[in-house]
Structures are given as C-alpha cells and as structure tokens.
Chain A
Amino acid sequence: MIDVRAWVLWAVTALVVASSTRNPLYLVLLLLVVAVVDKAHAPGHRQRAVLSPLRFAAVAVPLSVLFNGLTAHLGDTVLFRLPTWLPLLSGSVTLEALVFGATNGLTLTAIFSGFVVFNQVTPVRDLVQLTPRAFHEAGVVLSIALTFVPQTTHSLARIREAQAVRGHRIRGLRDWLPIFVPLLVSGLERSMGLAEAMVARGYGAVTDRSQPLRLQALLALGLFLLLGGWLAFLFLPSWKALALGGILVGVALIVGVLWLAGRAVPRTAYRTHRWTARDTLVVLGCGLTLAATLLPLPLVDRTTLAYAPFPRLTLPAFDPLIGLGLLGLLVPVYHATRNTQHATRNTAQ
C-alpha cells in the first residue's frame, strides 16, 4: 500500500502539470497516465466515483468549446459571424477559439481525473490522520461529516418512498416539505445519537484543553511577522531581505506552535504507516515529472508547454523528454501490479 503522503504528492504533481500546460498533446498524455493509474488502483469492489472523468469530459469539453467559441473572437480561421445585435457574443467565431476552448476543457478534465483517482485510493481516515494533531478534533468532525453524506442520501430515498406510499407527488417547491422535514429531523436525531455514543466511549475525556498563554502569544507573533514581512516584501523594495527574514521566522514560529500544541493533545494512532522504498519511488517519479515540466533543464524545450492556437492554428510541438517526464506519474501502477501478482500467488497457494 502506498503511503497517503506519497499519494498527496502524486495528486499535487498531476494538478501542477495540468495547470502549467495548454498543449493538448501533453494533456492527452497526462489523461492517459491518470486513467491507467485509476484502472490499476481502483478494482471492482471499490465504490466508483458518481461522476466518472469520461462523463465529466463529455460535459466540460463541449461547454468550454461553446463558451470560448462564442466569447473569444480571436484567430484567423473564421467559421461564421454572429450578428451585431447580439450583445457580448457578436463577432466572428473562429476555429482557433474553438480549439483553445477544447484545450481548456481538457485541462479541467485532467485536474478532475487526478482528484477522482486520489479520492478513490485514499481512505478518509488516512487523510484525517494527515491533519496536524492540534487540529485533530476538526479532522474527526470532517470524517464524520463525510460519512453523513451517504447516510443522508439513504434517508432521503427512504423518506421519498414513505411519502410516495401516501399518495405524495412532487410537482412544485412546496411538495418538498413532507420530505425535507423528516430528513432534517432524522439527521438531527442521528447527530444527537452519534454525539451521545461518542461521549459514552470517552471522546473528549481530556481534562484541560486550553492552550497556555505563552503559546497563544507566540502564535500571534508568528502571524504578525508573516503578514508584516509579506506586506514589506510587496511594497518596500529596499527592505526585501529583512522582509524575507520576517516571513521565515513567522512561518517557523507558527509551525513550532502547532507542533507544541499537537504534543499537548493526548492521542495515539492505531494504524501507523511506515514509509517504504515504494513510497520513495513514487516521490522520485513525481520529482521526475515536476523537474521535466518546471525546471529550466538543458535539452528540454519547455516552450512546447505553452501552446496557443492563435493567430492561426498550428500543430502543437511535442518534446519527447517532457513526455518521458510525465510517465513518472505511472510509478503507482507498478506497485498495484505487484500487489495483484502477490494476491494471485497467495490465492493459488
């Protein structure tokens, strides 16, 4: 199993790549890579996302094409012109604007796909464990809120059925009342029940939760230095070095206070993930991708990332080194394949 921190880096890398290029060739390659990872890591038994990336693309790409085509009147290849009496939309509709719209749609789809995969491979609980210990309670609340969503959906279905058997039909807004009231009441009852169960199991049994005044003062000082440093950096060019120092000290103070406050929260973790070589491999893969797309490396032509079809549509350029870099995101597939082989061998034995 890949560590959740490695997955976070993977998702961030996919996001960075998707937002740093408009070259459709790289975007399509990124989409393919993400799809392969998705296929390898989300086998049948796992609950699939309600909205698949394919469905998302089927909506996002045409909408983006339509919107860009109608509003951006740039480009030489005019397809037709909209009459002048149409406010905002009037003008020429060009092939270039349509292609640019499609590229934007692809970017959105790539970002969405990255999140879908991340969502499917990381359990909520592991994500909650990533929150600093000082924010543990907020993490628990978040995980409960997430489990409430499917429960509420079930309740809604049950209540709709119960009202339908009384002859209830939904025709207007008022007809939602017989559904909304029991839904709200049952949700409140469930929350009270859960709160009671958690208290009965000793949740919140910590004697003193208030942080010492010293920590609070240090946090305030850290925030002040961070904000002051940032403002100085922006508006006082001669104080740049001092401003940077202020920012660094501020950040260090905030991190330190959070760490100290976290230590004061008496809590242990049942599942502790040990960082393994495979997690390091995933990080290296992401590093390769980030280096190829962000760093000014020799031999790599980063200008190919910034493709624009204007003023006249041309074929996008493709640098094989950047393409190779994108394949760094495929490392998790290797782990999934190894896991499957391991499982098959176990079953065979």
Chain B
Amino acid sequence: MTGDQDARASSQLRSNREGSLRDSQTRFHFLMPTSAEANTATNPKSGQGNDYKEMYSKSRPKALPSGVEAPDFTLRSTPDQWLALSEFRGQPVVLAFYPADWSPVCGDQMALYNEMLKEFHELGAELIGISVDGAWCHAAFARDRKLHFPLLADFEPKGDVARRYGVYRDKDGVSERALFVIDAEGKVHWSFVSPIGVNPGADGILSALEDLQNKQATLATK
C-alpha cells in the first residue's frame, strides 16, 4: 500500500469519527485530567505549573530518613475496614503519601503505580497509598481509577501519620508527595519527598526494592 493510500484511509476514518471524538475530548478533558496535565503542572517553565505551585505553600520536609523504625499505624482502608502497617511485617512495603484524591498529579501517580503492581509484587512488596481524604472519598477515587491497592485515610486525627513520618504540610492541611520503602523488619530503607506538583515516577521505588532484595540475597549466602 502506498503512502497516499494510507493517508486517504486514515483521513476517511478520521472524518467518520471526528464528531464524536470532539465530544469525548471536551467531556474527558474536563473530567479526567491525566498525565499530560500533571506534567505541565510540574514544569516550572510552563505557566500552568506556576498556578499549581501557588496552590501550596513552600515547606521544608523532614521526612524520616533510612535506618529509623517506621512508626506503626492503623488506618481505615475502607469505610468498615482497618489496616495496620505491622500486618506487613516480614515483607517490604511501599508507602506513597500524596496530597489529595482527584488532583491531577496524584491521580496520575496512583495510575502509574497501579500499572506497576506486578513489578512491586515480583519484588515481594506491597503498595499502600495514604492521604488525608476520608474513606468514602478514597472508595470513590479507587473505583473511578480502578485502583487495585489500598488507599488509607489519614483522616482522624487529621494527618497524624503524615506528621509522624515528617511529611505533613501544616499550612496546606495535606501531606507531602512522599515515598517510603519499609523493609521486612519495619525500618525505613529509603525515603524521598518530591516537589508537591511533581509525579516522582516509580524508578526510585524499584531501585530501593531491588537494593533490599540484593541485601537479603547477600545475607542469605553468608
């Protein structure tokens, strides 16, 4: 098939579909800000990024560093279920603190981690999201985004767990966008606080989990 034929074929398809595409773009663009908005929001060079930044105060995070005991906590995972960090003793846990359900970057960050669950599980780890949103809000958010990992409600006393991990933003009433990898013994192995509008991705988590796995392998051979 020639290039011209290709072009004709796709242009015909395009014109057939264009009307409804425009409708869906209008609809979804408003309802479902995705990665791209998140990316522009994070970029200091783009105007939108500045707007996003202005929503939050500047803060100096003092996240718990590696080596310290990870404070245990028990939080609601659904309106009628509770989850404690100590339940995961014996395996690594990824704690992903994020500012809020529904805000563009968080949605995108959680959507990315949702796709990464298989890799996390292969490395023996469980993933937990935490924000100050209530359990019903989490339930709606998780259903909308088809999330397959628990979201915990750091809701009452508000932000208490985030405070204990050194990642609460008093002025904003939300947590930092912070990642902790907790080892099988319940110690912080790695922590990272991302600028609040920046999706930190998953590469740091994977490296930390692999590091843990290598350490374990070294110990086992000793």
B partners with A: no
Show the binding face of A for B, using Cβ within 8 Å.
none
